[in-house]
Chains A and B, each alone.
Chain A
Amino acid sequence: MKRFTAFIRKEFYHIFRDKRSLFILFGMPIAQIMLFGFAITNEINNVDIAILDYSKDATTKEIINKISASKYFSINQFLEHKTEIESEFKKGEIKAVLTFEKDFSKNLIKENHATIQIITDATDPNTANTISNFTNSILQKYQQELNKDIKISYQIVPQARMIYNAELKSVFMFVPGVMTIILMLVSAMMTSISITREKEMGTMEILLVSPLKPFQVIIGKVVPYIFLSIINAIVIIILSIFIFKMPVQGSLFLLGAESVLFIITSLSLGILISTMSATQQTAMMISLMGLMLPVIILSGFIFPISSMPTPLQVISNVIPAKWFIIILKAIMLKGVGITFIWKETLILIGMTIFFIGLSVKKYKIRLE
């Protein structure tokens, strides 16, 4: 035991001696969560649009005012002719053109009906679709004003109640995701590199012939990183509560315990990577190239998993980050206890056991 603690002490020395890495280790997650928490949103705001108004009358002016007053759009320019649209789209300055037909007011008064064409640059389908939806909802409100004297009968009116995030803040969606990605990548990368480093330098063999048992060597290498990651997690949680005003509806203790579990899962993934790679370079490329994009895309951090094709929904189940994001949102925003998230917790525990089991198996082969 004494040998073991001495070994752990050595590992701590290694880490604390390298001031630059230490700075990176603590500084970067903080910088990232601050940057992303403020900057990233999947809302669509301030979309640059152009107006092509063939009638230029009082009604179209009123509608244009309504549109420019909304936070969704900013009117970038007024076009005179349809042929200009193509070149503007190619330059990429505007995302949509609202075209008012000729005699707009006249049609509206005489025939009770007028049309607006929404031409969108649909290379970005999400923005295109959203522009169309937003314009419609602005027009809907305008029509209600127009028709306020007419009582429309037989109406079913849905009363929507947005729960868990009444103001539809995208911070609530992204902070748990950013936290997960930082914890996962930092933990997996750090362990995989530190273990392969010993291999590459040849010092691993020295450790293996020492009286320490192989699993003690591995645990000894991992313990300092568990400690560092926990500090990182605490800092991130504090930042998200005080700076991003993330609520923690559920128990803070449960949140902490689940975070520790996820850190251990990521670290054991790191151990697995290190047993598969001979050099630091390979370990880093696997943990960066192999993990970064799949974790960002398939974890439900940005893209909703339920919209993915079924095979990818199945694949997403093997991404530990997916389960941790579900757990984080459930505890912080829904305020549930362990009874609601035991399944996700068990999956993370199962993955950890699987990673460690597989590493132990691979590790033994190397010894022979």
Chain B
Amino acid sequence: MKTIGYIIQKEFKQIFRNKGMLPIIFILPLLQLLILSNAATFEIKNIKFSYIDNDHTSTSRALIETFNASDYFNVIAEFPNETLANDAMLNGEIDVILEVSRYFERDLIKDKHASLGVTINAIDGAAAGVENVYISQIVQRFNKKVQIELMHPSDKINLPKTITTTPSFWYNETLNYKTYMVPGILVLLVTMIVLFLSGMNIVREKEIGTLEQINVTPIKKSQFIIGKLLPFWVIGMGILTIGLVIAKIIFNVPMLGSFWLMYLYTSIYILVILGIGLFISNFTDTQQQAMFIAWFFVVIFILMSGLFTPIESMPIWAQNLTEFNPIKYFVEVMRMVMLKGSGFADILPQLLKTLLYAIIMNGLAVWSYKKTN
């Protein structure tokens, strides 16, 4: 026990001695939490909108005015013709072109029907879909207004059947993105710090040659590993705590669930990450290799965690792969406990899988550690 204490003391001294690293470990992640949580939103607004009005009638102007009044659209420009509009689209200045045809108002009154040209930059397919929905909604509302103004009494006989929907958004009525992203980004930061530090740590001793010196001391392998990993476990929990305080005070994220459940889960989760870090350390010779491998897995874990993009939309084989992604479980658990107040029974499946993962990874890490000596 005393030996472990000394190793831990040594590790902490080494961490706190390196003045260049301290801000990277403690300030950089929290700064990112503060800044990036504001940026991560799929909400589509400020759509760069432009129009070509070939009609110049009161109806066409009224229609364009409704777009102008909407929060979703920023009317950037009016173009006299299609060529100029297309050029602006190629430049990336605008994303939507609305084209009102020459006899728009006349067609509407005479034929009771008029069409409207809409061109949407669809490189971001999902955003284009949403933009299209917004445009239809605005036009639909405008139609209702026009119908009331223009309809003759004789038109009113047959009322169409309508089905209306009333959406009700639970847990997050205002559809605030930050409450969704803050727990997720916090999870990433904890994971990255712990994985990078632990992955580099032992391999560094190997590279510098001090590992051999430790190996000839009477320190047992288990003592060495526990002494090496515990400091990073503490750092991970520390970052989680500061992050939770920031989430509460600055982002006002609701914390419906119990704190001890979050800490219980995180304390097991960090063991998984430490196990992976140690495993990487054992199989590499230089810090450079260790970092490349850690980087490779972190990028995959992040992008396939369901944090930014939904897992359900992935192909089945990819969904199966995400079962091996520890970040996925951590993101799920944090969001469930914080935002929905899920209890122990609700997160039990994730908890058990994480525990199993921790046992397997640390087992593998300890086993492979012995072999390298």
CB within 8 Å of B: which of A255-273?
none
- Tell whether, in the assembled complex, residue A307 and residue B185 are in contact, meaning their CB atoms are under 8 Å apart: no
Determine the chain A residues whose CB is within 8 A of the CB of B161 once the complex forms: 108-109, 112-113, 143, 146-147
Q: Which of B136-144, B221-229, B241-249 contacts A (4 or more CB under 8 A)?
A: B136-144
Q: Is B204 a contact partner of A169 (Cβ separation < 8 A)?
A: no
CB distance from A259 to the nearest CB of B (A): 19
Binds B, one of A214-222, A276-284, A357-365: A276-284
A residues less than 8 Å from B196 (CB atoms)? 284-285, 288-289
- Using A123-B180, A165-B123 as known contacts, say yes or no to A113 and B296 having CB atoms under 8 A apart: no
Say whether B116 contacts A168, CB under 8 Å. Answer: no
Q: Which of A288-347 contact B (CB under 8 A)?
A: 288-290, 292-294, 296-298, 302-304, 306-309, 312, 315-316, 326, 329-330, 333-334, 336, 340
User: Is residue A155 within 8 Å, beta carbon to beta carbon, of the partner chain?
Assistant: yes
| Residues 136-161 of A at the B interface (beta carbon under 8 Å) | 136-137, 139, 142-143, 146-147, 149-150, 152-161
The answer to whether B167 and A118 have CB atoms under 8 Å apart is yes
Q: Looking across the interface, which residue of chain B has its beta carbon closest to that of A123?
A: B339
Is B163 touching A92 in the complex (CB atoms < 8 A)? no
Contact check: which of B113, B175, B176 meets A155 at CB < 8 Å?
A: B113
Task: Considering the complex, give the chain B residue whose CB is closest to the CB of A171.
Answer: B125
**Contact residues in B for A117 (Cβ distance below 8 Å):** 165-168
Determine the distance from Cα of A119 to Cα of B171 in the docked complex, in whole angstroms.
Answer: 11
**Given contact pairs A108-B163, A115-B163, A126 touches B42 in the complex (Cβ within 8 A):** yes
Contact B303 A40 (CB under 8 A): yes
Nearest CB of B to A296, in Å = 7
A115 to B133, alpha carbons, bound, how many Å? 21
Candidates A46, A47, A193, A302; contact of B291 at CB < 8 Å: A193
Pair count A-B, CB < 8 A: 373
Contact of B24 among A18, A42, A285, A330 (CB under 8 A): A285
**Alpha-carbon gap, A367 to B116, bound state (A):** 67
- Cβ-defined contact, A115 with B42, below 8 A: no
Q: Are B120 and A162 in contact (CB under 8 A)?
A: yes
A128-B342 Cα distance, complex, nearest whole Å: 19
**Minimum C-beta distance from B88 to chain A (A):** 10
Q: B18, B92, B116, B314: which contacts A157 (Cβ < 8 A)?
A: B116
Q: Does A173 contact B (CB under 8 A)?
A: yes
Closest chain A CB from B76 CB (angstroms): 11
- Counting contact residues on chain B (CB < 8 A from A), the size range is 35 or more
- B340 with A123: CB separation less than 8 A: yes
Q: Is the CB of A153 within 8 A of B92?
A: no
Within 8 Å of chain A (Cβ to Cβ): is B327?
Answer: no
Say if the beta carbon of B299 comes within 8 Å of chain A.
yes
The answer to whether B284 has its CB under 8 Å from any CB of chain A is: yes
A92 and B115 alpha carbons, distance in the complex (Å): 43
Asked if A121 CB lies within 8 Å of chain B CBs, one says: yes
Instruction: Decide if A170 is an interface residue (CB 8 Å cutoff).
Output: yes
Shortest CB-to-CB span from B17 to chain A, Å, is 12
Interface string of A20-46 (1 = CB under 8 A from B): 110011001001100110111111111
Complex interface: chain B residues within 8 A of A316 (CB): 39
Interface residues on A, range: 35 or more
**Contact partners of A282 in chain B: CB under 8 A:** 18, 20-21, 24
Known: A25-B292, A41-B313. A90 touches B112 (CB 8 A): no
Nearest CB in chain B to that of A20: its residue: B289
Q: How far is the CA of A133 from the CA of B127 in the complex (A)?
A: 13
* Complex interface: chain B residues within 8 A of A185 (CB): 295, 299
A194 to chain B: which residues have CB within 8 Å? Answer: 288
A93 to chain B, nearest CB (A): 10
User: How far apart are B139's CB and chain A's nearest CB, in angstroms?
Assistant: 5
Beyond A156-B143, A296-B308, 9 additional pairs, beta carbon < 8 A: A92-B342, A118-B165, A159-B116, A162-B132, A289-B193, A294-B36, A302-B308, A303-B42, A312-B39
A-B pairs, 5 with minimum CB distance:
A168-B125, A122-B169, A39-B318, A162-B122, A125-B175
9 contacts between A and B (CB under 8 A): A28-B295, A35-B300, A36-B303, A38-B318, A122-B171, A123-B179, A128-B175, A161-B117, A289-B24
Residues of B within 8 A of A (CB): 18, 20-21, 24-25, 28-29, 32, 35-36, 38-48, 63, 89-92, 108, 112-130, 132-133, 135-136, 139, 142-143, 146-147, 150-151, 155, 158-173, 175-177, 179-180, 185, 188-189, 192-193, 196, 200, 204, 284-289, 291-296, 298-300, 302-304, 308-310, 312-315, 318, 321, 332, 335-336, 339-343, 346
